[in-house]
Amino acid sequence: MLEGKNIILGVCGSIAAYKTATLVRLLIKAGANVQVVMTPDAANFITPLTLSTLSIRPVYVDYFKPDTGEWNNHVELGLWGDAMIIAPASANTMAKMAGGLVDNLLTAVYLSAKCPVYFAPAMDLDMWKHNSTRANIAAIQQFGNILIPPGSGELASGLHGEGRMAEPEEIIAFVEADIKGKLPLVNKRILVTAGPTYEAIDPVRFIGNHSSGKMGFAIADELASLGAEVTLVAGPTAQISKQKSVKRIDVISAAQMLNACLENFEHANACVMCAAVADYTPANVATQKIKKHDDGLTIDLKKTIDILKTLGSKKQPGQVLVGFALETENEEQFAIEKLNKKNLDLIVLNSLNDAGAGFKSDTNKVTLIDRQLKKTVYDLKSKTEVAKDICAKLLQLIN
């Protein structure tokens, strides 16, 4: 959930600030970009140099950079973040957050932030229980900010009770769960296929196609970023998922891809069949390498089982099935025939006649046609952007 996200980490003056070194490392490990902003007092508990080294970014403490006098732009910082985490959030800073007081860079960034703001309080037991603290927390939450509750245990004062900041691992888990819970495809299972299939002629040679798998992998990554549980059945390809949550099943042949799809389709809410599956496979596969002769070579082919049509025949009410049509002539006619013949809910049409579309390229130009034959034509875009368009339409169909 944090992969590629821009996280602003606000650090306040508290003994719990020592935990932010671990927190930064966990955020970086999760794939986030981390910008640390500290209050001046926080620098007494952990050095900016430590957090700068771990975050691989300069740490901001003051409005102005002491060496150059340049302005640390709190407005730009607030717009940059996908999320802001204030940890530890001291009683002093929470009072400022509740009252809108801006006397340091951190509170200025907080007031400028357009993203969700999480705060993890850290203070002694009596401070935590004080009515003014409770009122400030209630006010901060009313503003839409999200409390990461403190834990209970031994405190720096020697007292035992509530007030200790949540552990870094708990903060990461809390934020990820909160982000995921708000995503539109959370708890949805989606099956995606990608890449080519290779149909063996002998142990050395095969029949294949030029599919790189880029489009299917982009779709799988986009669906995962929307919260879906994605199973990706991939033919032979060098592509790698950017989203670590994607469950990948590697196959080689059309038969193997069919089996993998049948094993996962029943429990899927949707299936996006992006793979370029071979229509034919050798009727007989030689067990030894076929030697070259002066005469020509004839290979008998048989049809492979149509995976898309098979899934369409097994589709249950509520399931959404998406197919692809790569055409060279009569594009819309053939795509609509495929849509109806294979019981699809949506077909993605692209033509090899369009420059920049098709196999191996980083771009694609598609037309989406649904069951009602509503057609949406898109301009040439990167495959990442095309994946967003396809997934936006899929989201409508699922809902």
Binding residues are 279, 289, 324, 338, 342
Three-class secondary structure assignment of the chain: CCCCCEEEEEECCCHHHHHHHHHHHHHHHCCCEEEEEECHHHHHCCCHHHHHHHHCCCCECCCECCCCCCECCHHHHHHHCCEEEEEEECHHHHHHHHHCCCCCHHHHHHHHCCCCEEEEECCCHHHHHCHHHHHHHHHHHHCCCEECCCEEEECCCCCEEEEECCCHHHHHHHHHHHHHHCCCCCCCEEEEEECECCEECCCCCEECCCCCCHHHHHHHHHHHHCCCEEEEEECCCCCCCCCCCCEEEECCCHHHHHHHHHHHHCCCCEEEECCECCCEEECCCCCCCCCCCCCCCCCCEEECCCHHHHHHHHCCCCCEEEEEEEECCCHHHHHHHHHHHCCCCEEEEEECCCCCCCCCCCEECCEEEECCCCEEECCCEEHHHHHHHHHHHHHHHHC
Q: Give the rounded distance of the alpha carbon of 144 from its chain centre.
A: 24
Catalytic residue among 209, 259, 269, 343: 209
Which residues are part of a known binding site for CTP?
279, 289, 324, 338, 342
Is 104 marked active-site?
A: no
Residues serving a catalytic function are: 209
